[in-house]
């Protein structure tokens, strides 16, 4: 298994390999507990942004594989500020079995991978969230029984999560329909390269969807835009009236959710919501990913 940076470079077969192993490990913990591939090894978590699910899920996965984590959080400053990334990557590679980065710039992940001699995993960057997307695919496959032929409607900001889903879903035969306000959607070139669809009307986008997905309107680092974004995205709130157009669909959100903005409580806590199972599956896909990269 080659080192993974972003889902645009991963094949459909590799995605399925990760999902299949995650499913196997989730169903039978002995498959990883009896094979402690990280015994005596340490994984470094280099996080420029605060985290709940990414940190907890990676630390738990490493622990379950017999290893340890060292956490370098936001209080340590931006990666590359105190010392050059080339030096950080080369020195840390002598200590660590792998790197997980949660950073602002995509270029930080690429630069770290260029100089590190150990696997570098993108735990989140401004334009990518590949581990989230892998967990989402696992959840969709569990809830709907397949990926091929499904319609996934993403409503709201065309952000890093949506971008990673756009890279992954078409590869496994699913249709991604994105509905965003003008100025907050993907370029025509990106749409053409991925094969996704853009629909300006969120109700039309959601109609008969197998999966309805949304995310916060304002991501970390965009706080100064929050007021403007809230006004712009009002028509894109996923509520009971909107979900009525996808009566058989499941609702997904990568969390944290701003209840009352992109989603209301009736949907978030309703019978179609699978967000807690979705959050759990971050652990399973990341444990599988670590297994494949480090075994």
Tokens (6 digits) for 286 = 């990341």
Q: Is 3 a catalytic residue?
A: no
* Selected catalytic residue, list 215, 264, 272, 278: 215
- Smallest CA-to-CA distance from 9 within 120, 176, 171 is with 171
CA atoms within 13 A on the CB side of 180: 23
Q: Is 215 a catalytic residue?
A: yes
* Selected catalytic residue, list 53, 102, 163, 229: 102
User: Residue 218 in contact with residue 256, Cβ under 8 Å?
Assistant: no
* Selected catalytic residue, list 254, 278, 284, 287: 254
Q: Is 132 a catalytic residue?
A: yes
CA angle in degrees (0–180, nearest 5) for 4-101-137? 50
- If you write DSSP's letter for every residue of 121-151 in order, what string do you get? EEEE-SS--HHHHHHHHHHHHHHHS-STT-E
* Selected catalytic residue, list 167, 253, 282, 287: 282
* Selected catalytic residue, list 25, 132, 237, 272: 132
Phi, psi (deg, nearest 5) at residue 145: 85, -5
Q: Is 237 a catalytic residue?
A: no
Lookup result for tokens 């420029």: 48
* Selected catalytic residue, list 53, 55, 129, 284: 129
Distance of CA 53 to the CA centre of its chain: 10
Q: Is 284 a catalytic residue?
A: no
Q: Is 129 a catalytic residue?
A: yes
Indicate which residues carry an active-site annotation.
Answer: 102, 129, 132, 215, 254, 282
């Amino acid at each position: 298994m080659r080192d993974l940076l972003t889902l645009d470079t991963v094949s459909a077969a590799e995605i399925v390999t990760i999902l299949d192993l995650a499913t196997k490990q989730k169903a039978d913990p002995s498959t990883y507990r009896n094979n402690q591939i990280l015994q005596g090894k340490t994984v470094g978590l280099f996080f420029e942004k605060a985290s709940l699910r990414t940190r907890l899920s990676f630390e738990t996965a490493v622990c379950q594989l017999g290893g340890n984590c060292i956490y370098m959080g936001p209080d340590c400053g931006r990666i590359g500020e105190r010392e050059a990334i080339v030096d950080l990557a080369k020195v840390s590679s002598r200590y660590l079995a792998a790197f997980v980065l949660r950073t602002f710039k995509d270029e930080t992940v690429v630069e770290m991978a260029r100089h590190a001699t150990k696997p570098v995993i993108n735990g989140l960057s401004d334009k990518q969230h590949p581990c989230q997307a892998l967990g989402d695919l696992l959840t969709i496959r569990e809830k709907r029984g397949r990926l091929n032929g499904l319609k996934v409607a993403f409503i709201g900001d065309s952000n890093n999560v949506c971008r990673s889903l756009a890279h992954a879903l078409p590869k496994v035969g699913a249709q991604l329909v994105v509905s965003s306000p003008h100025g907050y959607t993907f370029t025509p070139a990106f749409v053409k390269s991925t094969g996704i669809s853009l629909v300006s009307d969120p109700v039309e986008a959601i109609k008969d969807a197998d999966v309805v997905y949304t995310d916060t309107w304002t991501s970390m680092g965009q706080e100064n835009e929050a007021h403007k974004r809230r006004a712009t995205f009002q028509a894109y709130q996923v509520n009971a009236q909107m979900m009525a157009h996808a009566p058989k669909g499941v609702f997904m959100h990568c969390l944290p959710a701003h209840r009352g903005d992109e989603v209301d409580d009736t949907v978030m806590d309703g019978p179609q919501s699978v967000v807690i199972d979705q959050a759990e599956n971050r652990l399973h896909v990341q444990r599988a990913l670590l297994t494949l990269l480090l075994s």
